[in-house]
Amino acid sequence: MTTLSNPGDTDILLVIDVQNDFCPGGSLAVPDGDSIVPGINALAARFAHVVLTQDWHPAGHSSFASAHAGAAPFSTTAMPYGEQILWPDHCVIGTRGAAFHAGLEIPHAEMVLRKGFRPAIDSYSAFYENDRTTPTGLAGYLRERGFTRVFGTGLALDVCVRYSLEDARRLGFDAVLVEDLARPIDTHGSLAAAMQAFAASGVTLVRAAA
Ligand code: VGL
Ligand code: ZN
């Protein structure tokens, strides 16, 4: 297994959705989600360039099971843009659950990208909403800044980290999963699917710790 060597000027670290609701005690807690926070801080200190993403939903968002009569959390429904997993209410704009984990310390992060703010569409990827065509603007930002390689960390490995890295590849960036600094939800076989998707799309894997 490869250990991450020193990042360069055209590398950027993406820290995906390290928010209270995805950590133990949160409404969509990822098992062990908070355990990666110290490692992400340490890794971020080695990168000159870091972008944070923040899942950021209006109350009553269409990805919430509570917005669909009779639907249970983690069931699926057909949306105009395809199948959508219905989640417990999470990361509602302005709530404590939507705030970054208090232990996250990356003062030099250059941008915070919010996603999932359109009521009718979910957004897993940092690059596209779940219709896979509505852009967030991140690709343009990265290109204009001259970044060519994206390293992915955070939550959840098999949802937002997965789609962000797959889309990075689709858009022509090199993409690397820092596998010891991401944790999965693992619902509907999503962890196995994510690992297959990484291999199929050319996302490579490294470890931050030796
Ligand atoms: C996420 C489910 C719903 C994530 C966001 O950050 O991985 N997962 N919204
Ligand atoms: Zn969400």
Give the residue, by CA position, lying nearest to ligand 1 atom 2.
159
Whether 182 contacts 209, CB under 8 Å = no
Residue 87 Cβ contacting ligand 1 at under 6 Å = yes
- At residue 182 the predicted structure's pLDDT band, cuts being 50, 70 and 90, is very high
Residues paired with 8 in a beta bridge:
none
> What does the chain come to in residues?
210
Q: In what order do the strands lie in the sheet with 50-55?
A: 111-115, 50-55, 11-16, 149-155, 174-183, 204-206
Average pLDDT score, the chain: 97
pTM, rounded to two decimals:
0.97
Q: What is the mean pLDDT of residues 99-122?
A: 97
Is 61's pLDDT higher than 90?
yes
Q: What residues does the ion ligand 2 have nearby, CB within 5 Å?
A: 55, 116
**What value of ipTM does the predicted structure carry?**
0.98
